[in-house]
Structure 1
Amino acid sequence: MRPSPLFALPLFLATFATGAGAASWKEQQIAAAEKSESILRQVEKVRGLLAQYQIMRAAYVADEARAFRLIFGQYLSWHQSYLGLHEDAMQSFSIQQGSDKQDAPSPLEGDAWRSEPAADTIARLANGQRAVFFNEAHNAAITRSLTVEMLPKLRQLGYTHFAAETLYETDTELARRGYPNDASGFYTQEPVYAEMVRTALKLGFTVVAYEAASEAVGDAREKEQARNLYNRVFKDNADARVVVNAGYAHIVESGKYLGGASMAQHFRKIARIDPLTVEQTMLIPHTEASQDHPYYRALLASASPKTPVAFVDGDGKPWSLRAGQYDVSVALPPYTHENGRQTWLSLGGARRAYTVDGEICRSVMPCLIEARYIGEGDDAIPADRIVFGLQDSSLTGSERKFRTVDQLRTDLYLRPGRYRVRASGADNQIVNTQNITVGTNPQR
């Protein structure tokens, strides 16, 4: 099921529609959501991610209305993440993390807390639990990186099932095939999300879809998701242990959510299992530092992390930015770049940088480059994607130019192994195919 802008409206309205003009703002957002839906229906008729993105980008540039950019910018950002344009994705849509009265005191206050690798913290806390819930920001693929890294550790601890939001239950061949394709889900079109599902399958997890199959929204959707999760994991398997990946506050453990309760709250009532909840969407880097949570930069200066970190006291108790809502908060490291890509794409060192240049495109611009595992079909979601020569549609006339005309060289991030690299144009026609081998050391 493709998410609709109408799913997001209750959150946006609660955030922005207060005081004078609230009714008008609500009407603007509803109109923007309806326009966004109309554009998306047109886009879905077009073949190829690159061609779809160009239509979406042009529509975004053509309408500067705040309500439209707020709603449609979220969809644009998802497609940018699918194409490996992670910086652009965060610019098109980003939730500012301001201070909140519910925030716990910073772990830098006093000397009770120390930082440690989040992977170590979570592995220790997850030992003996029956469910671990990770959240993510759907357009910020960096918020999936730690979850991918944690899967081998959690498998070793005895976790048996992996469940992810917006996986489609209609893809009954996923386990047999061993990799996700376009029929597998919505967010799985993004390569890091696909790598999360692929990794779970390779490790022997039973991968389950728990997304609501109905058109339910708000509390009804949360309850349906929780019921699906219980029925497909625990109902007939009392010894099961599950890792769940969900968006934003679907995993919040207390308080109202979208006028009712969250998926995690419904799950706890239905399954009588209190999940370990890992919050990793609030203490993250933004393209503009003004959007970072007020604690974020100070925490980074204190810990100087190159990998995700958590904070614990002398007894190993984890710090949470929202105590009572989430069990542990994770601070993700700041962006660093090498050869035009964000280095978190190494996924904790599991993947290596493999440099490609524009020659692979044979002068076809813009050009989409995709790397698929040898042994997987052409329908597989790639291990990584990049784009060369994408025109900046915000420029017109004589100013129009290629964004990467002076840098037709960048990195794919891939696990050691053999890959089939394919270059194609906006018309979806393949212009070049190469087989490569990625070794254990970076290749530049």
Structure 2
Amino acid sequence: MPPFKKLILVAMLSYGATAASAASVAEYNSPDRYDWWKYLQLLEKNVQQEMPAGSTVQASDAQRMQLLRAVGSPLQRLGTARAMLGDSMGAIAAFDTFEQLTLYQQRKGQPHADDDARLAAATPRDAIHAIVEAASKRQIVILNESHHVPMHRAFAAALARELRKIGFDTLAVETFGTTPNAWPYIHEQTGYYSNEPVFGHFLREARQDGWAFVQYEEERADRGADDYPRQRELEQAENIQSRIFASRPNARVFIYVGYSHSVETPIANKREDDVRMASHVRRITGIDPLTIDQTVMYAHAAPGAEQASYQQAQAKSDSQRPFVLLGPGGQQEVFGAYRNGVDMQVIHPRYAAGASGRPGWYAMLPQLQPHRIPANLYPATGRKLITARATGADLHAVPYDAIVISADAPAPQLMLPPGSYTLLESL
């Protein structure tokens, strides 16, 4: 990933800010940092050159595989870069295109024969309330995310806030590097995905609320490629046992994972079983975790990329809050690939855009309030990146917000908690 080449101190927000020193800007431009903006532009150019607009619409299998070899990895990285820079729906669109090439949507989106009947009989309930009620009797909660969807981190932050109130005390997060507690703030090396501002807010709030951070991902050089997936699932679970429950058997743990690490089936009976992390956690600790999916039921850039039951499911509630669906007997209903694999499934509504120009799901983060970007920072032509950083903070800290603004579109507002901020532009 290319290093930062040039970032310029352009403004101080009028929230009590003071001038930053030239030295701090030089530190921000140091060659050991990542330039997500330059990276984004390189990826966009790569994808545009290799995959002209509309090239996937009627592609043959051979053409689709050729496109996948050319742009499969760049599309995934483009989605991550867009998420890092505030373009949440653009991130989803990039992954939707990748999944169109892999036919993943067709595989995961196949409905079950009884889906329509289950949906018709189901009633909605607020997701946070339902999860907290179920978690009150549990010691472990496992929630997943799609790594390119900041909305999932907003929900995780809202859930963590409530779990802390009922005695949960330990936060184990897949993205954590080996030293998540090495800094008194959320550092760019705290984790890879936690460089994204909403993830950074989630972790800052969690630290303020007194959560203990635990790293459980294991990066071992001695694993062969064929053995890697199975061993990774096992080692994650073994680390959760050794780093948490071995010394604190009564700890109450919120584990935040990617995708199918949350799946409990098939049930693990021995160490050698080829199963997911959640299943190994249950076997090793003897604790039945509350497992929750939120990666299936949410709006996509193109409705055709959504899970087959999503449109009907999201119509069950007119709320702009995430919800779950309960069957007539009070049972949790789960649709798509995670049916029979997790205990609960969160359905994110089709959020309306906020007055700030940012997605409506920011309402799950009430500490973040909209602040206009000064008009003199708007580009006369093209685009630029605006990054908001706490004034006087270490410039290796994760930014509080980042957004790309364009000369030909209304500028969205920055979403920031109370404080003093320095704005940096990347040209």
Q: Same fold (TM over 0.5)?
A: yes
Contact 2:378 2:407 in 1 (8 A): no
Asked if 1:422 is matched to 2:423, the reply is: yes
Q: 2:358 aligns with which of 341, 362, 382?
A: 341
Q: Percent identity?
A: 25
Q: 1:156 aligns with which of 165, 180, 190?
A: 165
Specify the code of the residue in structure 1 equivalent to 2:256.
N
Q: 1:332 aligns with which of 348, 370, 377?
A: 348
Paired position in structure 1 for 2:232: 221
Asked if 1:54 is matched to 2:41, the reply is: yes
Q: CA shift at 1:254, angstroms?
A: 0.5
Q: TM-score, normalization: structure 2?
A: 0.78
Q: CA shift at 1:374, angstroms?
A: 5.0
Q: CA shift at 1:185, angstroms?
A: 1.0
Q: 1:207 aligns with which of 206, 209, 213?
A: 213
For the residues of structure 1 that align with 2:36 and 2:145, how far apart are their CA atoms? 23
SS of equivalent to 1:418: coil
Q: CA shift at 1:375, angstroms?
A: 6.6
- Describe how 1:70-89 pairs up with structure 2 within 5 A: 70-89=72-91
Specify the code of the residue in structure 1 equivalent to 2:251.
A
- What are structure 1's unaligned runs of at least 5 residues? 1-43, 389-403, 427-444
Contact 1:107 1:311 in 2 (8 A): no
Q: CA shift at 1:108, angstroms?
A: 4.9
Paired position in structure 2 for 1:379: 396
Paired position in structure 1 for 2:369: 352
Q: CA shift at 1:181, angstroms?
A: 1.7
Q: CA shift at 1:372, angstroms?
A: 2.9
Specify the code of the residue in structure 1 equivalent to 2:308.
P
Paired position in structure 2 for 1:189: 195
SS of equivalent to 1:70: helix
Q: CA shift at 1:381, angstroms?
A: 0.8
For the residues of structure 2 that align with 1:351 and 1:136, how far apart are their CA atoms? 21
Change in Cα spacing, 1:265 to 1:368, as seen in structure 2 (3 Å) is same
Q: CA shift at 1:107, angstroms?
A: 6.8
Q: 1:412 aligns with which of 408, 411, 414?
A: 414
CA deviation profile, 1:368-421 (whole Å, cap 9, x unmatched): 222234574322211211012xxxxxxxxxxxxxxx223252111223x11313
For the residues of structure 1 that align with 2:181 and 2:213, how far apart are their CA atoms? 11
Specify the code of the residue in structure 2 equivalent to 1:368.
L
SS of equivalent to 1:115: strand
Change in Cα spacing, 1:109 to 1:346, as seen in structure 2 (3 Å) is closer
CA deviation profile, 1:195-239 (whole Å, cap 9, x unmatched): 121121111000111111214420111111111122111110011
- Describe how 1:252-263 pairs up with structure 2 within 5 A: 252-255=263-266, 260-263=274-277
For the residues of structure 1 that align with 2:316 and 2:239, how far apart are their CA atoms? 42
SS of equivalent to 1:317: coil
For the residues of structure 1 that align with 2:134 and 2:112, how far apart are their CA atoms? 23
Contact 2:322 2:346 in 1 (8 A): yes
For the residues of structure 2 that align with 1:272 and 1:210, how far apart are their CA atoms? 18
Q: 2:322 aligns with which of 273, 291, 308?
A: 308
Contact 2:381 2:407 in 1 (8 A): no
For the residues of structure 2 that align with 1:286 and 1:362, how far apart are their CA atoms? 29
For the residues of structure 2 that align with 1:115 and 1:83, how far apart are their CA atoms? 33
Change in Cα spacing, 1:246 to 1:104, as seen in structure 2 (3 Å) is farther
CA deviation profile, 1:85-122 (whole Å, cap 9, x unmatched): 112111111243753366863575453x3101100000
Change in Cα spacing, 1:262 to 1:47, as seen in structure 2 (3 Å) is closer
SS of equivalent to 1:409: coil
Specify the code of the residue in structure 1 equivalent to 2:172.
A
Q: CA shift at 1:348, angstroms?
A: 4.8
CA deviation profile, 1:14-57 (whole Å, cap 9, x unmatched): xxxxxxxxxxxxxxxxxxxxxxxxxxxxxx98852212222222
Specify the code of the residue in structure 1 equivalent to 2:260.
A
Contact 1:70 1:93 in 2 (8 A): no
For the residues of structure 2 that align with 1:242 and 1:337, how far apart are their CA atoms? 34
- What are structure 2's unaligned runs of at least 5 residues? 1-30, 52-66, 100-104
Paired position in structure 1 for 2:22: none
* Number of aligned residue pairs: 362
CA deviation profile, 1:272-313 (whole Å, cap 9, x unmatched): 111101100001111000111121111222212301010124
Paired position in structure 1 for 2:261: 250
For the residues of structure 1 that align with 2:49 and 2:400, how far apart are their CA atoms? 33
CA deviation profile, 1:321-343 (whole Å, cap 9, x unmatched): 24430000110011322353212
Change in Cα spacing, 1:243 to 1:352, as seen in structure 2 (3 Å) is same
- Describe how 1:226-241 pairs up with structure 2 within 5 A: 226-241=237-252
- Describe how 1:167-178 pairs up with structure 2 within 5 A: 167-174=176-183, 177=184
For the residues of structure 1 that align with 2:372 and 2:146, how far apart are their CA atoms? 28
SS of equivalent to 2:333: coil
SS of equivalent to 1:303: coil
Does 145-154 or 311-320 show the bigger shift?
311-320
Q: TM-score, normalization: structure 1?
A: 0.75
Does 77-86 or 320-329 show the bigger shift?
320-329
Paired position in structure 2 for 1:99: 109
SS of equivalent to 1:369: strand
Contact 1:346 1:414 in 2 (8 A): no
